[in-house]
Chains A and B, each alone.
Chain A
Amino acid sequence: MASSRARPMLSERGAAGSGPAVEAPPPGAPRCSPAAAAALPPLGPPPLAVRELQVAFAGRPVLEGLTLALPAGRVSAIVGPSGAGKTTLLSCFNRLTELLPDCQVRGSVRVGEQEVLQPRCDVVALRRRVGMIFQRPNPFPFSIRKNLVLPLREHGVRGREELQARVERALRAVGLWEEVRERLEAPASTLSGGQQQRLCIARAIALEPQVLLFDEPTAALDPLAAGVIEDLIAGMRGRYTIAVVTHDLGQARRLADHLAVLWPERGIGRLVEAGPAARVFDRPRHPVAAAYLAGRRWDGGATGGG
């Protein structure tokens, strides 16, 4: 529903936001401006890729040597124990790592053709293209309608009808429209946890992104609400490139087309295995991944087959 409408908007905003970059693209350099992306022939959601990614907090590395590609338009699950750097990896794709104090990111992070880590990258346009949903539903403390209208307005969407149409479309897309159409002016905090999370998803897709990052989207929800969110994510397959961080291996198995297993080694997260989900689940090649996916505790290879 989104991509065909998103591109003209992006090109307008991008042209206004990063004019010089469009006029003189450096030869050969990966281009970052959304206007440049819009000039490409129409395509679906972009693939995600990181190469030799290193993330450090105050000089202490938490992710190292990470090279990983997540296929376009697919659902990729990123699993691994706590402290493996899953959320940090996710935050690299929309540069939300910038919010973390003293966080240095090195290497290459790409959303489609866009090199995210380039200083010239227009972060506002990037975050519009790459939406993110967090573990705890975080609607703004405003009405349901304002939660959706506010980011749209900030991104230059004007006009009552246009806004109303977008609000309705986003709420329909997450199955919330019928539940809240009578009380759009009610505070978002009056919604249940699952509804709030769906509102946050609606808020993200109202901006018509191409990529959605889910950081443990169902961890704070009851199983029924979690199931609704899971179905929603599954239904988005093909329209967005989706990366889901999850601790729920059952969820990863149900949702993922592609699977990446991260593992912390002396406090530093590394990729131990990645590939098509079915293959990695059924025939993991790395003993650490095999143990983790089978629900066994890994003891560092002392007694295992590694």
Chain B
Amino acid sequence: MTWYERRASCRWSAEAALRWWMRGSAALAGGLVVLVLAFVLAEALPLLLRVGGGRLFTDASWQPTAGRFGIGPLVWGTLLVAGGAVALAAPLGIASAVFVHFYAPQALVRPYRRAVELLAGIPSVVYGLWALVVLVPLLARLRPPGTCLLAGMLVLAVMVLPTVALFADASLARLPPELWRGAAALGLGRWATVRAVALPAARAGLAAGVLLAAVRAVGETMAVLMVCGNVIAVPADGLAPVRALTAHIALEMGYAAGEHRAALFATGLVLLAMVGALVGAVHLFGRRGHHA
């Protein structure tokens, strides 16, 4: 064996080790997801098989110890809080990215980006605390106690705003510079370029950002639990209290046992399905973006 062959075979074995290490990591990551899913399924399945999954949505109330497992109002709660938050955050986040890309003075761009990144890093309990001290008393002036759907929507909107903004920023940055030159050479002004060229061209990335913000909003627990009031009912208006799926699990898991516990796992399964659908939508948009 010549020195070259020895080195080559040595390199090969190092490469093989690396390859196996990577395979192992990938398997671990994938395996954990499957394991979590399997565990939740295993915990929820006995109940679902016995009473039927449909009962989660058809039962009129949530009294798990009395055999009533209706989580319909909780699903509504999550949809309203998260949907409202995303509806508020999406236009603001996209506007923020457009500002930083096309209109911000050069000196402001870096500090602005850092600030948005910082906003993304603030723990949700801090947002919750701030909302509880500042936002809820303001809303309580309209109607006590102030912990309500609107409070949840607003605090969640602030929390997912950076997700939308950073994704929109990145997808605008990915657009090729030829696009700007082409638009300018055709006599398109800045606003026309933004509206008619940049935003439509970046639409796949923008949609992905909004959907990921929705994933975050649906999954958010702490802040929502702190400011929403947590009454199990479909809210009549924005100032009525509401309970989200996540808050529901967090509130009751401490003392749940037996079928109650299984029903909470079933709730978790519904939450997982919602997040799964959103993630699927992200990939759908991503793929369409590549074709466009």
Expressed in whole angstroms, the minimum distance between the Cβ of B12 and any Cβ of chain A is 40
CB neighbours (8 Å) of A124 from chain B are 187-189
Expressed in whole angstroms, the minimum distance between the Cβ of A6 and any Cβ of chain B is 13
B186 within 8 A of A: yes
Residues B185-238 near A (CB distance < 8 A): 185-189, 192, 196-197, 200-201
Q: Which of B28-36, B117-125, B175-183, B254-262 contacts A (4 or more CB under 8 A)?
A: B175-183
CB neighbours (8 Å) of A125 from chain B are 187
Instruction: Given A140-B201, A142-B200, A187-B292, check contact A154 B181 (CB 8 Å).
Output: no
Instruction: Assess whether B178 is in contact with A138, with CB atoms less than 8 Å apart.
Output: yes
Encode contact with B along A107-135: 1 for CB under 8 Å, 0 otherwise. Answer: 00000000000000001111110011010
CB neighbours (8 Å) of A131 from chain B are 185-186
Instruction: Assess whether A127 is in contact with B182, with CB atoms less than 8 Å apart.
Output: no
Measured CB to CB, the nearest residue on chain A to B176 is A138
A203 within 8 A of B: yes
Encode contact with B along A59-103: 1 for CB under 8 Å, 0 otherwise. Answer: 000000000000000000000000000000000001010110000
Q: Chain A, interface size: which category?
A: 20 to 34
Measured CB to CB, the nearest residue on chain B to A136 is B178
Instruction: Assess whether B181 is in contact with A203, with CB atoms less than 8 Å apart.
Output: no
CB neighbours (8 Å) of A155 from chain B are 187
Instruction: Assess whether B187 is in contact with A127, with CB atoms less than 8 Å apart.
Output: yes
Q: Chain B, interface size: which category?
A: 20 to 34
A144 within 8 A of B: no
Instruction: Assess whether A151 is in contact with B188, with CB atoms less than 8 Å apart.
Output: yes
Expressed in whole angstroms, the minimum distance between the Cβ of B89 and any Cβ of chain A is 26
Instruction: Given A136-B178, A138-B181, A150-B197, check contact A207 B292 (CB 8 Å).
Output: no
Cα A141 to Cα B196 in complex, Å, equals 11
Cα A123 to Cα B182 in complex, Å, equals 14
Instruction: Assess whether A203 is in contact with B184, with CB atoms less than 8 Å apart.
Output: no
B141 within 8 A of A: no
CB neighbours (8 Å) of A151 from chain B are 186-188
Instruction: Given A128-B187, A151-B188, check contact A141 B182 (CB 8 Å).
Output: no
Cα A27 to Cα B292 in complex, Å, equals 52
Expressed in whole angstroms, the minimum distance between the Cβ of B240 and any Cβ of chain A is 44
Encode contact with A along B65-101: 1 for CB under 8 Å, 0 otherwise. Answer: 0000000000000000000000000000000000000
Instruction: Assess whether B292 is in contact with A127, with CB atoms less than 8 Å apart.
Output: no
Q: Chain B contact residues: over half helix, strand or loop, or mixed?
A: helix
Expressed in whole angstroms, the minimum distance between the Cβ of A91 and any Cβ of chain B is 9
Cα A123 to Cα B197 in complex, Å, equals 19
CB neighbours (8 Å) of B176 from chain A are 138
Encode contact with A along B269-292: 1 for CB under 8 Å, 0 otherwise. Answer: 000000000000000000000011
Instruction: Given A141-B292, A142-B200, A187-B291, check contact A203 B178 (CB 8 Å).
Output: no
Instruction: Assess whether A140 is in contact with B187, with CB atoms less than 8 Å apart.
Output: no
Cα A189 to Cα B84 in complex, Å, equals 37
Expressed in whole angstroms, the minimum distance between the Cβ of B67 and any Cβ of chain A is 56
CB neighbours (8 Å) of B197 from chain A are 140, 150
Instruction: Assess whether A138 is in contact with B182, with CB atoms less than 8 Å apart.
Output: yes
A243 within 8 A of B: no
CB neighbours (8 Å) of B196 from chain A are 150, 153-154
CB neighbours (8 Å) of A96 from chain B are 181, 184-185
Instruction: Assess whether A99 is in contact with B182, with CB atoms less than 8 Å apart.
Output: no
Cα A153 to Cα B292 in complex, Å, equals 21
Expressed in whole angstroms, the minimum distance between the Cβ of A14 and any Cβ of chain B is 12
Instruction: Given A140-B197, A154-B196, check contact A134 B188 (CB 8 Å).
Output: no
Instruction: Assess whether B178 is in contact with A134, with CB atoms less than 8 Å apart.
Output: yes
Measured CB to CB, the nearest residue on chain B to A146 is B200
Cα A153 to Cα B197 in complex, Å, equals 12
> What residues make up the interface of B, taking CB atoms closer than 8 Å to A?
176, 178-189, 192, 196-197, 200-201, 291-292
| Top 3 closest pairs, chain A to chain B, by CB | A127-B187, A138-B178, A132-B185
Jot down 23 A-B pairs with beta carbons below 8 A, ordered by A. Answer: A94-B185, A98-B184, A99-B184, A123-B187, A127-B184, A127-B185, A128-B186, A134-B178, A134-B185, A136-B178, A139-B182, A140-B201, A141-B179, A142-B292, A150-B196, A150-B197, A151-B188, A153-B196, A154-B186, A154-B188, A154-B192, A204-B186, A207-B187
Add 14 more A-B contacts to A127-B187, A154-B186 (CB < 8 A).
A99-B181, A125-B187, A126-B187, A128-B186, A138-B178, A138-B182, A140-B183, A140-B201, A141-B201, A141-B292, A142-B292, A187-B292, A204-B186, A207-B186
